[in-house]
Amino acid sequence: MGVEDGNMLKGAPFEDPAYLPSRNPSLYNPLHTFELPKGAERHYQQQYADMYFLRLAELRNAVIKQAQEAWGDYQLGNEKARRVERVLDVRQGELCWVVGTVYMEMGLKPNVLDDIVKEHWIVAPPLRATYVSASGQDEMMLEDESGRLRVAGEALNTHYVTGCVLAALGTEQADGTFQVIATQYADLPEQPPRWGRDNATIAATHKQEPKREKSGKVAIVSGLEIMGTGDDDLSLDLFMEYLTGEAAGSPDQSKSRKISRLLIAGCSLSHSNPILSREDFAARKSGKKHYGYDASAYNPSPSERLDSFLAEILPSLPITILPGETDPANVALPQQPLHPALFPQSRQYANPPAQSNETREGLDSVTNPWDGDIEGWRVLATGGQTVSDLLKYVEDVAVLDAMEMMLRWRCVAPTAPDTLWCYPFQEDDPLLVRECPHIYIAGNQPSFEKKVITGPDDQKVLLLSVPKFKQSKSVVLLDMETLEVEIVDFDVVHPGT
C-alpha cells in the first residue's frame, strides 16, 4: 500500500507487508559492428587511403541515385546537367555534376607535416577549440581516386566537413575552381522495422512471435567523470539511490521501477592519465627513485569508485557502458570495450570475455560507437567525440544539426582519419551507417536536446544529445514504448544559499 505524496512519516504504521515493486526484464540484443579483431590479427600496416576508398565506393551509388532524382532534368539556360565520372573530368563552362569526398583545407588543423618540420621534439598540439581560421583562408575540395578539385560557391554555406561524400552540381571556372550551384548527399539509409532482427531470427527457426510486454524506460547518462575524491559522492549517490529505488517514496519508486536498463555513454572516469609535458616528464624521471610499488604513479580510487557504483546498481538493473574520451580505453575510434579487470566487483554480473562477447542481463561493456537493439529499437550511441570534433570544423552549428547531418551523410565519424584518431580499416568500414537507427545518442554534450528527423523513405530518427552528469547533474529517461524523453535532475540543496 503506497502513500500518495511519498511522505511515509505521516499516518498510522502499515499493517500489510511492504509493497515490493519489481522491474521488467530488458529486451536487449546488441550488435558487434565496431569490435576490432584482437591481438596479432589487428594490423596497422595499411594506410588510411583504404578507408577513404571504402567510404567513397560504398556511398557513391547512393549519392548518384539521389543526385539523379534531384538533377536528372535540371537545365540552366539551354544546357542540361550531366554526370562526369571523375572529379578531374569537369570541363570549363560545362554544366555537370560529380561525386567525391570533401576535404577541408584548414590552417588550424593539427598537421603532421608541421610536426616533422620541428625536428628536435614534438610538442603535444594545443587543444584547439575550433579549426576555422579567422582570416577565412579555409578551402574546400572535392576528392576522388583521380585527384582533387577546389570548390567554391554560396551553396556551400551549409557546412561540410572532411570525409562526407557529396555530389556537387556546377561548372568549372577559368582559374580551375568548381563553382557549385547545388549539392546532394546520400541521405538516410533504409530503416529496419522495430523488432526487425528478433523477428528475423524467430522466423528462421519457425517459431511463433512471442507476445511482448510493454517496454520500460532506458536511463541514459554520460560524463560521470568520477575522480575518486569526495567531490563526486553526493550527486552520484543520489543517482544510484534513485535507480535502486532506495531514495524517496513510492511515487518516485514507481517511476524508477519502469527503468529497465541504464546506458552510460562515455567519460565515466575523469582524465585517466594525462600526457605529461616535457618539463613534468623530466622532473618525474630525475626524481627520487622509488623501490617497490610507486603509489604516485597509479591511483586506483576512481575505478574503484566506479566499480562500487556499478555493483550497487547491477543486482536490479542491467547496464551498458561505453568508453569515452577520458576513459582508460584506446584513443583511436572505435574504442574497444572497457576491460573487465577494471571492475572486480561488477564483473560478476558480466559474462567472461572468453565465454561470450555480450552480456544481456548484467554489465555489458561495449565499444564506442555502439549499435544494438534495445526493446526492439535500433540504437546508435556514441561517446560524443565524433560530434565534438565535427563542430570544430564549422561555426554556429547546433549539436543536433551536426548529428542530423552525420546521419544524412551516412557517416558515424566523417572526420575520422583526418582529425579524429581511427583504426585503418582495409576490408570493410563499420563507421558507415548502413541501417538507419531509430535512436541516435551522443553523450558528453554541453546541454540536453532532442529532435526527431525524417527521411525520404519515412524513416524517423530520434536524436538525443545527453549532457555531462558532472556539470548538469541530469539523467535522460527515454520511454521505449512511446519514444518520449524526459529529464531527471539531481539537485543538492546547499544550506545558506
Partner 1 sequence: MPPKRRARGATPKAHQSTLAFHGTSNRVTKPGARAQNAKKNLLSDTAPTDSKDVVADISPSDAADLTTADAAVVEQTKQEVVAQQVASTPEEDEARKISKKRIDDYWRAKERAREAPRVHQEDLSTHEKILREFDMSGQYGPCTGTARLKRWKRAQRLGLTPPIEVLAVLLKEQDGSNAIVVQRSHVDELLNSRSEALA
Which of 53, 61, 58, 63 shows the shortest CA–CA distance to 186? 63
Nearer of residues 61 and 356 to partner 1, judged by Cβ: 61
Nearer of residues 48 and 448 to partner 1, judged by Cβ: 48
Q: CB of 87 within 8 A of CB of 142? A: yes
In which residue are the cell numbers 561524400 written? Answer: 165
Min dist. Cβ of residue 86 to partner 1 (A): 9
In angstroms, the CA 483 to CA 376 distance is: 12
Nearer of residues 46 and 356 to partner 1, judged by Cβ: 46
Min dist. Cβ of residue 426 to partner 1 (A): 6
Min dist. Cβ of residue 418 to partner 1 (A): 17
Which of 357, 367, 363, 257 shows the shortest CA–CA distance to 311? 363
Q: Is 445 exposed, middle or buried (0-12, 13-18, 19+ CB in 10 A)?
A: buried
Min dist. Cβ of residue 415 to partner 1 (A): 20
- Give me 360's grid cell: 544481456
Nearer of residues 88 and 282 to partner 1, judged by Cβ: 88
* End-to-end CA, the chain: 37
Min dist. Cβ of residue 50 to partner 1 (A): 6
Nearer of residues 145 and 237 to partner 1, judged by Cβ: 145
Min dist. Cβ of residue 43 to partner 1 (A): 5
Nearer of residues 61 and 348 to partner 1, judged by Cβ: 61
Min dist. Cβ of residue 430 to partner 1 (A): 15
Nearer of residues 45 and 135 to partner 1, judged by Cβ: 45
Min dist. Cβ of residue 425 to partner 1 (A): 11
Nearer of residues 44 and 293 to partner 1, judged by Cβ: 44
Min dist. Cβ of residue 114 to partner 1 (A): 24
Kindly report the CA angle at 376 between 373 and 381, in degrees rounded to 5? 35
Strands 319-322 and 96-105: what pairing?
Answer: unpaired
Min dist. Cβ of residue 84 to partner 1 (A): 14
Q: What single-letter amino acid sits at 217?
A: K
In angstroms, the CA 168 to CA 149 distance is: 11
In angstroms, the CA 444 to CA 468 distance is: 5
Is the peptide bond prior to 334 cis by the omega test (within 30 degrees of 0)? yes
Query: What backbone phi and psi angles, to 5 degrees, belong to 96?
Result: -150, 170
Q: CB of 170 within 8 A of CB of 183? A: no
Min dist. Cβ of residue 145 to partner 1 (A): 4
What are all long-range contacts of 483-489, with beta carbons under 8 Å and residues at least 24 apart?
483/377, 483/438, 483/439, 485/450, 487/448, 488/219, 488/242
Contacts of 367 (CB under 8 A, 6+ apart): 32, 34, 35, 322, 323, 334, 335, 336, 337
Q: CB of 221 within 8 A of CB of 294? A: no
Nearer of residues 47 and 277 to partner 1, judged by Cβ: 47
In angstroms, the CA 461 to CA 439 distance is: 6
476 forms beta bridges with 220, 487
**Where do contacts with partner 1 occur on this chain (CB under 8 A)?**
43-47, 49-50, 53-54, 57-58, 61, 145-146, 426-427
In angstroms, the CA 373 to CA 124 distance is: 39
Q: CB of 18 within 8 A of CB of 3? A: no
Nearer of residues 278 and 434 to partner 1, judged by Cβ: 434
Min dist. Cβ of residue 189 to partner 1 (A): 16
Helix, strand, coil in percent for the chain, rounding step 5: 25, 25, 50
Nearer of residues 63 and 338 to partner 1, judged by Cβ: 63
DSSP class of residue 259 equals: E
Nearer of residues 393 and 425 to partner 1, judged by Cβ: 425
Min dist. Cβ of residue 192 to partner 1 (A): 22
Strands 363-365 and 449-454: what pairing?
Answer: unpaired
Nearer of residues 33 and 253 to partner 1, judged by Cβ: 33
55 alpha carbon, distance to own chain's centre: 19
